[in-house]
Amino acid sequence: MSTDLKPITGRASQRSRNAPAPTRRLPLKTRLVRSLPIYIGLAPFFVLLIVFVGAPMVYGLAMSFTDWSVSSRSTLHFVGLENYLYILSGEGLGSTRFLKSLLNLSVYVPITVAIGLGVSLGLALIVHNLPRRFQSFLRSGFFVPTAIPLFLCVGIWLWLMDSDNGLVASSLAKLGIGVDVNWVNTAGWAIALIIFIDIWHSVGFNFVIFSTGMQEISEDLYEAADLDGANVFQKMMRITIPMMEPIIFFVITYSLISALQVYDIPQILTSGSDPNSVGGPNQVMLFPVMEMVRNVRIGGEAALGRAAAEGVILMVIIIAVTFIMFKLRRKKV
Amino acid sequence: MRSRIAGKKRSRTGIILMAVLAFIWLLASLYPLWMIFSATFSADSTNMSTALVPDDFTNGWSKVVEAFTALNLGTTLRDTLIFTLIAIAGMALTSSLAAYEFTFFEFPGKKFLFAILMGSMMLPLVLYVVPLYRQVFNMGLADSYLGVALPLMVSPLSVFILMQFMEDLPRSFIEAAQVDGAGHFRIFFLIVVPMLRNGLITATVLLALSVWGAFLWPSLVTGQEVQALSVAIANMFNPNFYVDPRVRFAAMLIAMIPPLLVYILFQRHVIKGVAMSGVKG
């Protein structure tokens, strides 16, 4: 098909060479008018983006400085930094819960990102060295848990990790891990359970990114290394990993951002009829987004203002982490 | 000579060891699904945790039927399908148009708008979900199909993926059509869209999987009129709400079928789309 098109390409480019000077040189006003259809084409997407992303963002930022609550839109008061001071003060239920959620987050994020990276990169390196016919087969299988919605993954693992007769929990107990432990309710184990489910679900995603990235690496490099007598391990460390550096950086950044938003797994594991029970006893698996949603559910004075402030704090954390990651990368390169 | 043979032997055992590790993870990925399946289709007297093979299909089928009748799964499935389709349709139209303009044209403000697009990819929904919920509520869209679907159809990632597919299209087509005097949107609908089949499938399938699995947003915005599958299934895990475990598993199996089917049918597109989202780095 592409061969048929060649003459057309030639003719078109010749014509454009004879065409009037590029639009760039025209005055801005003319360019804007000429670009009108382009702006019309962009409008649907950008209108949605402004209405459903930009506006809520600005709205939330502004409302985090007010006593915004579910019922009091008519009597909104500017309260300055009060919401921020309250949730970070350590006094009162809303505050202790939020601080506990940040503490849990600081334990959960580094561990789940590190293990997730290790497992998916390890698997990708392994599969990269296996015969081609296994590669696509394994890749299809590894991605299945990622294709399954997270809420179903939670349901599956809730059953497998049931402390009474869950298949995996009882097998682990036989190995001496978590004997008589109720994984959902026990401090430490609860976070381990979330990490477990998160890894099972997300390894497939990172694996596909790593594995397709490795296929792009030129065979010539490996052949040259073979001539120099390099072994599998040396090729991994000297060729594969350095060539994968930008992709590894992307996966770490992306994993950090998504780990900071952790919500579905702990929320589903601990949801009950009482909003205050979310996060489990002693908030063993409470995370910031869950606390935001709890504020919306319980209502009360300034509840939405506090939820908005918590959203802003989480945003600052995410932006800071992304910024640090980009700084680190620039230093390395 | 000798050392070369030894080296080959070592690498062969290495490869076998690596294959074993890979197959262990494959088993860990797939076995839990089989467990859910065989537990659902087992007799009530069978211990579910050790039900390695399904042994009672009639009992299992009655649980599937019960999941539909007692848990009202039919309505939930229909509602979820409707808002997923709305989100897909909205995404396909808005994202492909935006990708078309960014890929093929130069215009004042392009860099600025593109920076906004890339920046918004970094901003997850959770950051603004509370004000978004109030805003959708104030617009009178809470608990409606549109209310659920509209925020989910805004997909900068889809624009990004579609742009990569469009870059592979021959520009000469568009230049030739322009020379022939075809209008801006006529070129889009009659020339670009038909050639964009794979790109649209990839973006659609990825969005379908993520909307079907969305939990936080539907849990806030749905209620009586619209019911989301994720919320209904998650409610079944509430310890205060007793459901026969086999009925619960049957419901989970049903909820799993559409995404698994989509994945199996469009595997190549799913993998390509995921790989493309990694290209950002």
Tell whether A24 is within 8 A of chain B (Cβ).
yes
Give the pLDDT confidence of A41-92 residue by residue, as tens digits: 999 999 999 999 999 999 999 999 998 887 755 678 899 899 999 999 988 8
For domain A86-332, the CATH class is mainly alpha
CB contact under 8 A, A52 and B151: yes
Is the domain of B51 the same as that of B89? no
CB contact under 8 A, A42 and B135: no
Tell whether A323 is within 8 A of chain B (Cβ).
no
Q: What pLDDT was estimated at residue A131?
A: 85
Q: pLDDT class for B231, splitting at 50, 70, 90?
A: very high
Tell whether A316 is within 8 A of chain B (Cβ).
no
For chain B, what is the domain count?
2
Report the 3 state secondary structure along chain A: CHHHHHHHHHHHHHHHHHCCCCHHHCCHHHHHHHCHHHHHHHHHHHHHHHHHHHHHHHHHHHHCCECCCCCCCCCCCECCCHHHHHHHHCCCHHHHHHHHHHHHHHHHHHHHHHHHHHHHHHHHHHHHCCCHHHHHHHHHHHHHHHHCCHHHHHHHHHHHCCCCCCHHHHHHHHCCCCCCCCCCCCCCHHHHHHHHHHHHHHHHHHHHHHHHHHHHCCHHHHHHHHHCCCCHHHHHHHHHHHHCHHHHHHHHHHHHHHHHCCCHHHHHHHCCCCHHHCCCHHHCCCCHHHHHHHHHHHCCCCHHHHHHHHHHHHHHHHHHHHHHHHHHHHHHC
CB contact under 8 A, A59 and B131: yes
Give the pLDDT confidence of A120-140 residue by residue, as tens digits: 999 999 999 888 888 889 999
Q: What pLDDT was estimated at residue A190?
A: 93
Give the pLDDT confidence of A151-207 residue by residue, as tens digits: 999 999 999 998 777 888 888 988 988 888 888 888 899 999 999 999 999 999 999
CB contact under 8 A, B170 and A296: no
Give the pLDDT confidence of B174-193 residue by residue, as tens digits: 888 888 888 999 999 999 99
Is the domain of B28 the same as that of B143? no
Q: What pLDDT was estimated at residue A306?
A: 93
Average pLDDT, chain A: 86
Is the domain of B112 the same as that of B226? yes
* Percent of chain A residues past pLDDT 70, beyond the cut: 90
CB contact under 8 A, B126 and A127: no
Residues of A in contact with B173 (CB under 8 A): 5, 8
Is the domain of B142 the same as that of B12? no
Give the pLDDT confidence of B28-60 residue by residue, as tens digits: 999 999 999 999 998 888 887 777 888 888 898
Question: What ipTM, to 2 d.p.?
Answer: 0.91
Residue A2 has pLDDT above 60, yes or no: no
Q: Within a domain: residue B240?
A: yes
Q: Within a domain: residue B60?
A: no
Is the domain of B149 the same as that of B28? no
Which structural domain range is residue B150 located in?
70-277
CB contact under 8 A, B107 and A35: yes
Is the domain of B202 the same as that of B147? yes
CB contact under 8 A, A134 and B15: no
Q: Within a domain: residue B237?
A: yes
**Chain B 63-122, residues with CB within 8 Å of chain A CB atoms:** 90, 93-95, 97-98, 100-102, 105-108, 113, 116-117, 120, 122
Query: How far off is chain B from A97, nearest CA to CA, in Å?
Result: 18
CATH number at residue B262: 1.10.3720.10
Is the domain of B256 the same as that of B215? yes
Residue A11 has pLDDT above 60, yes or no: no
Q: What pLDDT was estimated at residue A197?
A: 96
